[in-house]
Chains A and B, each alone.
Chain A
Amino acid sequence: MRHLGALGFLLFWMLAGSGIYLYLRFDTSASGAYTSIGELEWWFGGVLRSVHRYAADAFVLVMILHLAREMWLGRFRGWRAFTWISGIPLVWLLYASGLIGYWLVWDTRSQFSFLATMEWMGVAARVGEAPDRLFSLFVFLHIGLPLALLAGMWVHVQRLGRPKTAPPRALMWGCAALLLVTAALRPAVSEPKWDPARAARDIAVDWFYQFIHPLMYATSPDFLWAVALGATALLLLMPYASKTSHLVVAQVDPANCNACGRCVADCPYQAVILSENKAMVFAERCAACGICAGACPSSTPFRSIERLVSGIELPDRTMQELRAKVQAALPCPEMVFCCEKNPLAGAIALRCLAMLPPAVVEYALRRGARKVRAVGCEGECAYRLGMQLCEERFAGRREPHLRATVSVQRNNNEYRFVLDR
């Protein structure tokens, strides 16, 4: 479920790929469109057409699940507000792209959807003719709106550090196989050709996109406007209606910051930048996860200064406090660090496990702990990248890394460290 956003990107590229081939074979005139689609060879063009259809439907499904999940997890407040708000117009763009895509087939389903949309918009439509200029506009919109959607998706992930825009390979292949098998078992076919004299009867409605038409016929265009605009306004206002107090923000100590940029690279919400050769924090974007403090090279407890001040750290969870807690617990057979979201009795709790500088692990081992354990969130990290950053730091693939004199073993969300003698 945590790959829904990445799946959305994958489906977009599948739609773009299949759409380019269909466009090459498509007659962009109202009189020729229907026939050109019918002439697609079933084994390639037909399959791609079906994949195009089902990928579009799956995109809606993925988008709704993604939206519902983020809402359920409360991920629309504070530092996530920008990402949430920038996602709402994408719903409209996806629906507009999909609905207009259906009109290009120029069959009775297109006719039904086009007339229902015009009725919703309060526009009288001359249905007796099929003007090519209008049809060209549909084609233009079916290319332009998805491009706008892509631009919107790019904006949507701008406040995320290392955004995942590609799902894991197994999921990618699984998704492609799912669409291909669905396309093979139930190929997308056209309805009878657009006929102005035919009333909308027995229409094969695509309920993922076209559910708004039956809803409008069951109620009224005004009701549909109220639902669509009301839902949009509600979603847009959610971050403000449920605003939580944001008391803690990471603070930079210029005297200890050497502008190495590790905090910038590791921040999961793009809240830290380098300005005038020092780190700078955007308060409204800061999630107070402490990952930046874990990344800062000056967070090492081996420093001989009496009062340990890191280049960047949380004012309510300083590195001085962390070192003091470690020192107070030593010597001990085992020292445990954990994430606040997954508290353990007797453990030193951190906002996020990635707030733990690898040097603190080594410090504990060298000063009297026989073993060290670090336990992260179960399942998905509350701050997106915590476990991923820990993994890379502890495996020596990312600065600040754990020195080779410490051995590490991972078991799901738990790391065990011992000193090599």
Chain B
Amino acid sequence: MKTLRFAAQLALYAPLMAILAYFSTEPRFSVVAPDEALVRVSFIHATQRKQACRERTPEELAKLAPNMRAALDCPRERSPLLVEVELDGKLILRREVQPSGLRRDGNAVVYERMALPAGRHRIVARLRDRAEGDFNFTKDETVELAGGRTLIVDFNAAKGGFAFLI
């Protein structure tokens, strides 16, 4: 009886072991095919204010409580962010991103992932972070992308704008 119970336990444990061992690593998964590379547009940026700050008049200041008398009145809302990515002359991404927050005064978050064939590509990234006008940041570069590699399109206004990280 004891042997039978032991055998029954073993019969139960063996498939459990197999399930644990197999599904903890297999089957393997790929986001891109072997002959593909990945472009990841990923950055956070605080855009310019939608309306410029203006100076308060002496009358307006007088109406405010003494501890609230800031000379400048700056509306909190920021402009939407417009981003475009062009690959070999073809537009592959155009997105307008609203700043986060209830008052739209937070960062604009951009995250896009695109697969493209491995090889040499001309990539142009453009960004507008103000309410009106043309793009105020642009980067144009030809890159060599091997299969299975990632190009990260990063943006940092303090460091001059776009950076293509391979």
| B-binding residues in A (CB < 8 A) | 53-54, 57-58, 61, 112, 115, 118-119, 122-128, 170, 174, 177-178, 181-182, 185-186, 188, 196-208, 213-214, 217
**Contact (A204, B154) CB under 8 Å given A61-B20, A128-B165, A182-B17:** no
Which residues between 53 and 85 of chain B lie within 8 Å of chain A, taking CB atoms?
none
**Once the chains bind, are A197 and B165 in contact (CB under 8 Å)?**
yes
**Once the chains bind, are B26 and A178 in contact (CB under 8 Å)?**
no
Which residues between 14 and 50 of chain B lie within 8 Å of chain A, taking CB atoms?
16-17, 19-21, 23-32, 34, 36-38, 40, 42-44
A-B contact pairs, 26 of them (CB 8 A): A54-B20, A58-B20, A61-B20, A115-B40, A119-B111, A123-B111, A124-B42, A124-B44, A124-B109, A124-B111, A127-B40, A178-B13, A178-B16, A178-B20, A182-B21, A188-B24, A197-B165, A199-B31, A199-B38, A202-B30, A203-B28, A203-B31, A206-B25, A207-B23, A207-B24, A217-B31
**Once the chains bind, are A182 and B20 in contact (CB under 8 Å)?**
yes
Bound together, the chains give a CA A207 to CA B28 distance in angstroms of 10
Bound together, the chains give a CA A196 to CA B111 distance in angstroms of 15
**Once the chains bind, are A205 and B32 in contact (CB under 8 Å)?**
no
How many residues in B have their beta carbons less than 8 Å from beta carbons of A?
Answer: 36
Bound together, the chains give a CA A128 to CA B19 distance in angstroms of 35
Provide the residues of chain A in CB contact with B26, threshold 8 Å.
204
**Once the chains bind, are A203 and B37 in contact (CB under 8 Å)?**
no
Q: Let me know if B149 is at the binding interface, CB within 8 A.
A: yes
Provide the residues of chain B in CB contact with A57, threshold 8 Å.
20, 23-24
**Once the chains bind, are B21 and A200 in contact (CB under 8 Å)?**
no
Contact flags (1/0) for B139-166 with A, using CB distance below 8 Å?
A: 0000000001110101000000000011
Minimal beta-carbon separation of B129 from chain A (angstroms) = 15
Bound together, the chains give a CA A199 to CA B111 distance in angstroms of 15
Bound together, the chains give a CA A124 to CA B43 distance in angstroms of 6
Minimal beta-carbon separation of A18 from chain B (angstroms) = 15
Bound together, the chains give a CA A181 to CA B9 distance in angstroms of 14
Provide the residues of chain A in CB contact with B9, threshold 8 Å.
170, 174
Minimal beta-carbon separation of B148 from chain A (angstroms) = 5
Q: Let me know if B113 is at the binding interface, CB within 8 A.
A: yes
**Once the chains bind, are A201 and B30 in contact (CB under 8 Å)?**
yes
Bound together, the chains give a CA A214 to CA B166 distance in angstroms of 24
Residue of B30, B109, B165 touching A203 (CB-CB under 8 A): B30
**Contact (A202, B42) CB under 8 Å given A128-B165, A186-B21, A197-B165:** no
Q: Let me know if B110 is at the binding interface, CB within 8 A.
A: yes
Minimal beta-carbon separation of A418 from chain B (angstroms) = 28
**Contact (A208, B23) CB under 8 Å given A127-B40, A174-B13, A199-B37:** yes
Bound together, the chains give a CA A176 to CA B38 distance in angstroms of 43
**Once the chains bind, are A198 and B23 in contact (CB under 8 Å)?**
no
**Contact (A198, B148) CB under 8 Å given A205-B29, A206-B25:** yes
What are the 5 A-B residue pairs with the smallest beta carbon separation, nearest first?
A: A200-B31, A204-B25, A199-B38, A207-B23, A186-B21
Bound together, the chains give a CA A118 to CA B150 distance in angstroms of 17
Residue of B21, B36, B109, B150 touching A123 (CB-CB under 8 A): B109
Provide the residues of chain B in CB contact with A115, threshold 8 Å.
40
**Once the chains bind, are A54 and B24 in contact (CB under 8 Å)?**
yes
Bound together, the chains give a CA A54 to CA B150 distance in angstroms of 31
Minimal beta-carbon separation of A246 from chain B (angstroms) = 38
Bound together, the chains give a CA A163 to CA B107 distance in angstroms of 49
**Once the chains bind, are A124 and B110 in contact (CB under 8 Å)?**
yes
Provide the residues of chain B in CB contact with A127, threshold 8 Å.
40, 42, 152
Nearest neighbor of B150 in chain A, beta-carbon distance: A199
Minimal beta-carbon separation of B105 from chain A (angstroms) = 18
**Contact (A53, B24) CB under 8 Å given A124-B111, A127-B40:** yes
Provide the residues of chain A in CB contact with B16, threshold 8 Å.
58, 61, 178
Bound together, the chains give a CA A177 to CA B16 distance in angstroms of 12
Bound together, the chains give a CA A127 to CA B39 distance in angstroms of 13
Residue of B36, B37, B42 touching A126 (CB-CB under 8 A): B42
Minimal beta-carbon separation of B39 from chain A (angstroms) = 10
**Once the chains bind, are A185 and B30 in contact (CB under 8 Å)?**
no
Minimal beta-carbon separation of B134 from chain A (angstroms) = 24
**Contact (A128, B20) CB under 8 Å given A199-B31, A200-B30:** no
Bound together, the chains give a CA A181 to CA B20 distance in angstroms of 11
Nearest neighbor of A185 in chain B, beta-carbon distance: B21
Residue of A53, A54, A126 touching B154 (CB-CB under 8 A): A126
Provide the residues of chain A in CB contact with B34, threshold 8 Å.
201
Residue of B24, B111, B149 touching A198 (CB-CB under 8 A): B149
Provide the residues of chain B in CB contact with A170, threshold 8 Å.
9
Residue of B25, B37, B154 touching A205 (CB-CB under 8 A): B25
Nearest neighbor of A208 in chain B, beta-carbon distance: B23
Nearest neighbor of A56 in chain B, beta-carbon distance: B24
Provide the residues of chain A in CB contact with B24, threshold 8 Å.
53-54, 57, 188, 206-208
Provide the residues of chain A in CB contact with B28, threshold 8 Å.
202-205
Provide the residues of chain A in CB contact with B38, threshold 8 Å.
199-200
Provide the residues of chain A in CB contact with B150, threshold 8 Å.
196-199
Provide the residues of chain B in CB contact with A53, threshold 8 Å.
24
Minimal beta-carbon separation of B101 from chain A (angstroms) = 14
